Amino acid sequence: MMTNKVVIVPACTDLNRGDQALVWEAAYLLKHAINEKVDISIVDYGNTDEDRERQSRQTKSAGFKVFRNIVENPKRIISESTVHSSKFGIILAGLLAVVDFIRHFLVLCLPFELLFKLLFPNKEHQKTFRVIKNSDSIVVKGGGFLHTYGKVEDLYYLWFGLYYLLLGKRLNKKLIVLPNSIGPITGFSNRLFTRWVLNKCDLLYVRERVSLDFCHKIGINNAKYAFDLGYYAEESLPTALNKELVNDCINKLSKEKTNIGITVRPYRFPSAENPTERYENYINSIATFCNKNKENSAYHFIVQVQGPSAHETDMIAINDVISKLESDVEYTVIDIDINYKEIMTVYSKFDLLLGTRFHSVIFSQVQGVPAAAIAYGGNKTHGIMKEINLDEYVIDINEITAPDLQAIFTKLIKNTSEYKAKLEIAFKSIENDRESVSEDLKRVMLK
Strand 223-225 relative to strand 203-206, pairing: parallel
Residue 395: per-residue pLDDT: 97
392 within a domain of the structure (yes/no): yes
Q: CB-based burial of residue 286 (10 Å sphere; 0-12 exposed, 13-18 middle, 19+ buried)?
A: buried
Question: Which residue pairs from 385-388 have beta carbons closer than 8 angstroms and sit at least 24 positions apart in sequence?
Answer: 385/361, 386/208, 386/209, 386/210, 387/208, 387/209, 387/227, 387/426, 388/422, 388/423, 388/425, 388/426
Average pLDDT over residues 244-271: 94
Using one digit for the tens of pLDDT, what is the confidence trace for 81-114?
444 556 776 788 778 888 999 999 999 999 999 9
Inform me whether the pLDDT recorded for 289 exceeds 70.
yes
Residue 311: per-residue pLDDT: 63
424 within a domain of the structure (yes/no): no
Question: Which residues constitute the domain of residue 277?
Answer: 240-414
Residue 271 and residue 404 share a domain: yes
Residue 332 and residue 205 share a domain: no
Omega cis (within 30) before 10? yes
Average pLDDT over residues 32-56: 89
The CATH number of residue 160's host domain is 3.40.50.11720
Question: Do 414 and 285 contact (CB within 8 A), yes or no?
Answer: no
Residue 237 carries which DSSP code?
Answer: P
Average pLDDT over residues 312-327: 94
Using one digit for the tens of pLDDT, what is the confidence trace for 121-176?
999 999 999 999 999 999 999 887 788 877 878 888 899 899 999 999 999 999 99
Residue 377 and residue 263 share a domain: yes
Residue 188 and residue 276 share a domain: no
pLDDT band at 79 (very low <50, low <70, confident <90, very high): low
112 within a domain of the structure (yes/no): yes
Q: Which of 55-59, 76-80, 269-273, 357-361 has the lowest mean pLDDT?
A: 76-80
Average pLDDT over residues 177-199: 94
420 within a domain of the structure (yes/no): no
**Percent of the chain at pLDDT exceeding 90:** 77
pLDDT band at 373 (very low <50, low <70, confident <90, very high): very high
Using one digit for the tens of pLDDT, what is the confidence trace for 201-231?
999 999 999 899 999 999 999 999 999 999 9
The CATH number of residue 320's host domain is 3.40.50.2000
Residue 179 and residue 310 share a domain: no
Residue 165 and residue 314 share a domain: no
Average pLDDT over residues 402-430: 96
Residues in the chain: 447
425 within a domain of the structure (yes/no): no
211 within a domain of the structure (yes/no): yes
pLDDT band at 309 (very low <50, low <70, confident <90, very high): low
Bridge partner residues of 202 (DSSP): none
Using one digit for the tens of pLDDT, what is the confidence trace for 331-370?
999 999 999 999 999 999 999 999 999 999 999 999 999 9
Question: Do 187 and 147 contact (CB within 8 A), yes or no?
Answer: no
Residue 339 and residue 370 share a domain: yes
Residue 160 and residue 131 share a domain: yes
254: Cα within 13 Å, side-chain hemisphere: 18
Residue 24: per-residue pLDDT: 97
Residue 307: per-residue pLDDT: 77
Q: DSSP labels for 148-204?
A: --S-TTHHHHHHHHHHHHHHHHHTT-EEEEEEEEE----SHHHHHHHHHHHTT-SEE
CA distance 220 to 197: 9
- What is the three-class DSSP state of 261? strand
How confident is the prediction for the chain on average, in pLDDT?
A: 92
Residue 219 and residue 290 share a domain: no
Which residue type occupies 303? V
Residue 436 and residue 369 share a domain: no
**Domains: count for the chain:** 2
53 within a domain of the structure (yes/no): yes
311 within a domain of the structure (yes/no): yes
Q: Name the residue with higher pLDDT: 45 or 327.
A: 327
Residue 132 and residue 255 share a domain: no
Q: DSSP labels for 13-66?
A: -TTBHHHHHHHHHHHHHHHHHTTT-EEEEEE---SSHHHHHHHHHHHHHTT-EE
Residue 434 and residue 404 share a domain: no
CA distance 167 to 130: 12
pLDDT band at 184 (very low <50, low <70, confident <90, very high): confident
- In the chain, count H helices and then E strands: 16, 14
